Amino acid sequence: MNTDNIRSLFPILNQQVYGKPLVYFDNAATTQKPQAVIDELCRYYTTLNSNIHRGAHYLAAQATEKYEETRIAVQSFVNARHSHEIIFTRGTTESINLVAASFGQAFLHEGDEVVISAMEHHSNIVPWQLACQRHGATLRTIPFNDQGVLDIEALPGLLNEHTRIVAVNHVSNTLGTINPIADIVTIAHSRNIPVLVDGAQAISHMKVDVQALGCDFYCFSGHKMYGPMGVGVMYGREELLEKMPPYQGGGEMIKEVTFEQTTYNELPFKFEAGTPSVGDVLALKAAIDFMLQTGIDNIAAHEKELTDYATSRLLTIDGIRLFGTAPDKTSVISFLIGNAHPYDTGTLLDKLGIAVRTGHHCTQPIMDKYGIPGTVRASFAVYNTIEEVDALYAALKRIAPILL
Ligand code: PMP
């Protein structure tokens, strides 16, 4: 894979900040977009803008066709059985809220339990807390060890006849840990408990096959996979989606409305109330095309090389503490320099042109476990280079003695 060629597709990377070449290592927060994605957004608003599914005119028909083509592209991308199992949302957060609210309404009752992991993003914690509060259920958590590996052996003991769903992330945004989803599904399904997977941090790094994983729901965001902000996906197994009530009411999700009674539209429209972000959905297809053309295996191999190299370089710096050292992890490196506040490290790196994330990364329970206020997080994408990792290493080597 030629990284120069890949970088040339991403105009934003070719710039200086504070007079230094931009090194963008905040990819777990959001990835940059290739020109093809930007062009698609522009093309939509320049030539196609219209509301889908309703109009009797040419533009509306074209936009609808392309919108539904993207649904099929997503279906194929994650290997869902049916295209109507792909629901477009605003992002992972909305996808999980949809399931927690709708599944909760259908299946959660007083005394029931919901199991999540202790390494979840707040968006896979709070929606379940809200659902539990609403229905009188209890939230339980699967612990993880100091390396950041989930204690999967604890899972069977957390499941019982009251457990209604297990919700876990595929990859931790803070620790990089890849969780053994297929094993979790096997354990949960042996007790007829469905599994929701937060795939926000997995979808751009590995081949995701929802049928091979066996999960019942899989949620992700377009903007973390080289696509635009404002669009996400909730994959749900047909059998469960059919049993779940609508999440939001409004246009498009209905068959017939009278003041006495409303009947709902079929899947997927039952869960897509109102006007969706059509341009963003169309541009998501361009992002998928970019990933497929680049090759997901190539992306994964390149990111692994960067991660292994960065880890070994950083560990040679006095005072570096890594958080998340699971054997199976993606391209996320969370660290601190001694007890220095992560914000100080991040600010100094920024002045050297290196963009990282600092703070709790919306995973406060992980920070509580390690007894730290937050971490500095460098996360890599397909367009990052070994030279950029060298720049991070050189910067940290300069910064560490100042902060220690
Ligand atoms: N889950 C995980 C693991 C994440 O990393 C993120 C984004 N940081 C989210 C959920 C939420 O994604 P979004 O903000 O795109 O809805």
- pTM comes to 0.98
Q: Are 179 and 170 in contact (CB under 8 A)?
A: yes
Q: Is the CB of 221 under 6 A from ligand 1?
A: yes
C-alpha span between 202 and 266 (Å, rounded): 29
Q: Are 399 and 348 in contact (CB under 8 A)?
A: yes
Q: Is the CB of 95 under 6 A from ligand 1?
A: no
**DSSP alpha helices (H): ranges in 117-176?**
126-135, 155-158
Parallel, antiparallel, or unpaired for β 232-236 and 254-257? Answer: unpaired
> Which residues are tagged catalytic?
362
User: Percent of the chain having pLDDT more than 70?
Assistant: 100
C-alpha span between 280 and 138 (Å, rounded): 37
Q: Are 332 and 379 in contact (CB under 8 A)?
A: yes
- Ligand 1 atom, smallest distance to 172 CA: 3
Q: What pLDDT was estimated at residue 283?
A: 98
Residue 92 alpha carbon to ligand 1 centre in Å: 6
Residues 152-177: tens digit of each pLDDT: 999 999 999 999 999 999 999 999 99
Q: Residue 197 half-sphere exposure, CB side, CA atoms within 13 Å? A: 28
Minimal-distance CA residue to ligand 1 atom 6: 200
- Ligand 1 atom, smallest distance to 229 CA: 15
Is residue 54 pLDDT above 90, yes or no? no
Q: Which has the closest alpha carbon to 207: 218, 216, 217, 196?
A: 218
Minimal-distance CA residue to ligand 1 atom 14: 93
Q: What pLDDT was estimated at residue 264?
A: 95
Q: What pLDDT was estimated at residue 266?
A: 96
Q: What pLDDT was estimated at residue 140?
A: 98
Residue 236 alpha carbon to ligand 1 centre in Å: 18
What phi and psi, each to the nearest 5 degrees, are found at residue 28? -70, -25
Going by the DSSP 8-state scheme, the letter that residue 250 receives in this structure is: S
Q: What residues does CATH 3.90.1150.10 cover in the chain?
A: 3-32+295-403
Q: What pLDDT was estimated at residue 65?
A: 97
In whole angstroms, how far apart are CA 353 and each of 6, 20, 24? 20, 5, 8
Q: Is the CB of 358 under 6 A from ligand 1?
A: no
C-alpha span between 217 and 275 (Å, rounded): 23
How is domain 3-32+295-403 classified at the CATH fold level? Aspartate Aminotransferase, domain 1 (3.90.1150)
Parallel, antiparallel, or unpaired for β 232-236 and 138-142? Answer: unpaired
Q: Are 160 and 113 in contact (CB under 8 A)?
A: yes
Residue 31 alpha carbon to ligand 1 centre in Å: 12
Instruction: Kindly provide the b/e burial profile for residues 106-138, where b requires at least 16 CB atoms within 10 angstroms of the residue's own CB.
Output: ebbeeebbbbbbbbbbebbbbbbeebbeebebe
Residues 214-272: tens digit of each pLDDT: 999 999 999 999 999 999 999 999 999 999 999 999 999 999 999 999 999 999 999 99
Q: Are 41 and 279 in contact (CB under 8 A)?
A: yes
Q: What pLDDT was estimated at residue 338?
A: 97
- Ligand 1 atom, smallest distance to 223 CA: 15
- Residue 140 identity (one-letter amino acid): R
Q: How many CB atoms are closer than 10 A to CB 384?
A: 26
Mean pLDDT for 379-400 is: 98
38-292: CATH class: alpha beta
Q: Is the CB of 97 under 6 A from ligand 1?
A: no
Residue 124 alpha carbon to ligand 1 centre in Å: 9
Q: What pLDDT was estimated at residue 55?
A: 78
Pull the structure tokens for residue 385. Answer: 């280079």
**Top mutation candidate among 95, 116, 120, 121 for ligand 1, by most atoms within 8 Å of CB:** 121
Minimal-distance CA residue to ligand 1 atom 5: 173
Pull the structure tokens for residue 90. Answer: 């605003």
Residues 319-341: tens digit of each pLDDT: 999 999 999 999 999 999 999 99
- Residue 261 identity (one-letter amino acid): Q
Residues 297-311: tens digit of each pLDDT: 999 999 999 999 999
Residues 58-107: tens digit of each pLDDT: 999 999 999 999 999 999 999 999 999 999 999 999 999 999 999 999 99
Residues 165-220: tens digit of each pLDDT: 999 999 999 999 999 999 999 999 999 999 999 999 999 999 999 999 999 999 99
Helices 278-294, 296-314: crossing angle, 10 deg rounding: 80
C-alpha span between 278 and 287 (Å, rounded): 15
Q: What residues does CATH 3.40.640.10 cover in the chain?
A: 38-292
